[in-house]
Chain A
Amino acid sequence: MALESWQILYILIALAGLLMGWLFDPRSGILFIWALVIAVEAFDYMKSRRVAKSST
């Protein structure tokens, strides 16, 4: 089962959040994951909109 690049990126974000939670505070780990996942999804949404606009 091959993983797509976005899945690998999210796994890395989740593991980084876990490390952050372990080193500092669990809540900061969760905030870290939230912020990065939302940022990646927002970037992906903007990119797909730009592609859709340029193709019409």
Chain B
Amino acid sequence: MIELTALAVLLASFYIAWNIGANDAANAIGTAVGGRVLSFRRAVSIAMLFVLLGAALEGYKLMKPVGEQIVTGVDPSVSPFSILPWAAAIALLCAGLVVTLQTRLGFPISTHQAIIGALAGAGVAIGTFSNVTAHVNWWKLLIILWSWVLTPLAAAFFAFVLYRVFEVPLKRVKAPEKLNLIFAAAVIASGCYVAYVIGANGVGTAMGMAYAVGCGGGTSSSVQLLALLGGVGVFIGSLTYSRRVIQTVGAEITSLGPMSAFVAQFGAALTIHLFTQWGLPVSTSHAIVGGVVGAGLVGGIAAISRRRLGEIVIAWIATPIASMFLAFCLASVIIVV
């Protein structure tokens, strides 16, 4: 029975990895494809090599359950999800379903956000209907929520300022083709770096729960095998289902050229780096959308598709709420029945 539950968690984790590939690939290559620096095929191929590299080299370091401080039991060191691993599988499944739906609609959202929402929902169900003690740390959730709001605003600000800073000296350059080539190379390089981070961080996020319930087996080789499984999940997700979100990030918010694609990506990277230094959880998706908006704002508010941006913001708000509600309902039904 325990092995069956572990298998369910493993499958749910692979599904989350697939979702990360489908939704987060746009964070690495959306601006490159939108700015016509690379074709979709070449961008996916290059980025996925770096995703695998990140998963192989650093994925195992970050393999810990997401939101382990969100739901706590009587003993803070023992998570209620390690007592009831099937609840973890349900939370991951619900988060995955919500992310799949948002990806289908083309919205760049945070998988991390969906998982945290689903864990909180399952945690409330465990605490209310089962005999296992589970408390949801709402204060911690509020801090995370605050950083979700700040991330896109900071990225938009950095991208806007960077564009203005680069614009002045670049107006004097007499060979804009060469300049575009330099920016194109910079967009590809920063895209590879983001892909590496998705590999290291995303694979840890996806497979952390599987590792926590014992799928890893504890040996270093089996942990690396889990990282490889997560990396392959992200790879297949990007190959099969990422085109729609890439289209949104690269072309539907504003139109990008090599320089604006670069400042959008660089502004997002600066924000992620800064927030990580302060220990705040950040979403790469929120940062990249903020960066794209900041780069677009240089051309005035009319250069931004306000309708599409409004839909994305609604998707950001709806994601944790929908996964929380779905996980609460499903976990409650299973506990009661």
Contact = CB atoms under 8 A, between A and B. Distances in A.
B224 A18 contact: no
B42 A21 contact: no
Contact of B225 (A1, A3, A21, A34): A21
| Chain B: interface size category | 20 to 34
A5 to B, nearest CB: 11
A3 B236 CA distance: 12
Interface string A2-40: 010011001100110110011001110110011001100
Contact of A27 (B48, B56, B235): B56
Interface residues of A, number: 22
Given A37-B48, A41-B45, A30 B240 contact: no
A37 B228 contact: no
Contacts of A6: 41
Contacts of A34: 49, 52-53
B235 A14 contact: yes
Contact of A10 (B45, B53, B221): B45
Contacts of A3: 239-240
A30 B239 contact: no
Label chain B's interface by main secondary structure: helix
Nearest to A41: B45
B246 to A, nearest CB: 14
Interface in B38-68: 41-42, 45, 48-49, 52-53, 55-56
A26 B227 contact: yes
Interface of B: 41-42, 45, 48-49, 52-53, 55-56, 221, 224-225, 227-229, 231-232, 235-236, 239-241
22 contacts: A1-B241, A3-B239, A7-B239, A7-B240, A10-B235, A11-B236, A11-B239, A14-B239, A15-B232, A17-B228, A18-B229, A18-B232, A26-B225, A26-B228, A27-B224, A30-B55, A30-B228, A30-B231, A33-B52, A33-B232, A34-B49, A41-B42
